[in-house]
């Protein structure tokens, strides 16, 4: 929290994006909890949006 609004996340995101491009990767994907509005806002500000895939999960009994 003490490092928010300093551009660190954007700098890291851009560096990772450039490395992916250089490696021939054309699409980035990540997973964000629906209720985590802070992270959702960050990724949207970087141009990310909902993609064509939906994550499915099932909790298994121990």
pLDDT 10s digits, 6-27:
789 999 999 999 999 999 999 9
Tell me how far CA of residue 36 lies from CA of 2, 5, 31, 46, in angstroms. 18, 17, 11, 16
Q: Which residue ranges make up each domain of the chain?
A: 8-45
- pLDDT computed for residue 44 by the predictor: 96
């Amino acid at each position: 929290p003490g490092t928010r609004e300093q551009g660190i996340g954007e700098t890291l995101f851009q560096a990772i994006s450039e490395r992916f491009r250089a490696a021939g990767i054309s699409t980035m994907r990540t997973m964000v909890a629906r209720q985590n509005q802070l992270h959702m806002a960050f990724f949207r500000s970087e141009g990310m949006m909902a993609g064509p895939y939906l994550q499915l999960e099932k909790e298994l009994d121990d």
